[in-house]
Amino acid sequence: MTFPADSPHVTEVRPSPNHDEREADVDILLLHYTGMVSAEEAVARLCDAESKVSCHYLVHEDGRIVQMVPESARAWHAGLSSWEGEPDVNSRSIGIEIQNPGHEHGYRDFPDAQIDAVIRLGLDICERHAIARNRVLAHSDVAPKRKEDPGEKFPWDRLYAAKLGHWQKPAPLTTEGNDSFFEGDTGEPVEEIQSLFSIYGYGIEINGTFDAQTKAVTTAFQRHFRQEKVDGTVDPSTVATLRRLLKALPKV
């Protein structure tokens, strides 16, 4: 059955059967890339009952917006994920898939018309649901060990300039200082950076060991906030950028 679009920016409604009831109020806007060769292929999969996946919206490269699940329903887009200690991201989020072939099929820049449409839709959603700017997130933020979308080419700075999302200018890359940590390192400095990631919202065990999970979180953070170099190493630029973001968090 079809349903009325929730946003005036929607071009087309293509209902997906893949949804159920929410168990929490919406307080996250989650951005993905489709990771498929074409938008048509992505829409078909998101609307296929056998796929068991869906999202609320898909934004084409030319800016057209398709809605597939009502915002009142829990779409199946985040998978195994968490943010600020909450594991059921699907229940508390609205998901936007952004057409891009992704890292497996020729990852490319996002066209201006597409980003303009994401901004219009995102601002509308955040206003209606009172979503805080620091809760406009990447799929890789909430599932860092599994996902890398929308990736390091996504222009979070443009969204921030339009008052969508939380962002700060990344600290410059530098070889100065000794604040670099690598997989296998241990000690209080590692525990401190894990704590900072956790305070920001990332799901990470604070154990003082730079393990695979810490590297995954660091990589996800860099894809979103320090895109110039995405290598999973906690270097001075990563630490300084994270501290800038924490300092600029909205006051509750």
- Fold annotation for 12-161: Lysozyme-like (3.40.80)
Burial of residue 109 (CB within 10 Å: 0-12, 13-18, 19+) is exposed
Q: Can 97 be counted among the known catalytic residues?
A: yes
Closest by CA position to 207, among listed 221, 219, 232, 190 = 190
Beta strands in 60-206 (DSSP E): 65-67, 73-75, 93-98, 136-138
Per-domain residue ranges for the chain? Answer: 12-161, 188-247
Record the tokens describing residue 42, joined without a space: 């992505």
Residue 75 near residue 139, CB atoms below 8 Å: no
Q: What is the chain's mean pLDDT, rounded?
A: 96
Residue 185 CB-half CA count within 13 A: 18
Helices (H) and strands (E) in the chain, counts: 8, 8
Distance CA 31, CA 95 (A): 6
Question: Looking at residues 145-159, what average pLDDT do you find?
Answer: 98
- In this predicted model, what pLDDT tens digit does every residue of 88-110 receive, in sequence order? 999 999 999 999 999 999 999 99
Residue 70 φ/ψ, nearest 5 degrees: -60, 145
pLDDT value of residue 198: 98
Per-residue pLDDT of 195-239, as tens digits, reads 999 999 999 999 999 999 999 999 999 999 999 999 999 999 999
Topology agreement, domain 12-161 and domain 188-247: no
Q: CATH says 188-247 is which class?
A: mainly alpha
Q: Please state whether the peptide bond connecting residue 150 to the residue before it is cis, i.e. omega within 30 degrees of 0.
A: yes
d(CA 17, CA 110): 28
pLDDT at 174 > cutoff 90: no
Decide if pLDDT at 150 tops 70: yes
Please identify which of the residues 50, 97, 183, 191 carries the catalytic annotation.
97
Contact 80, 143 (CB under 8 A): yes
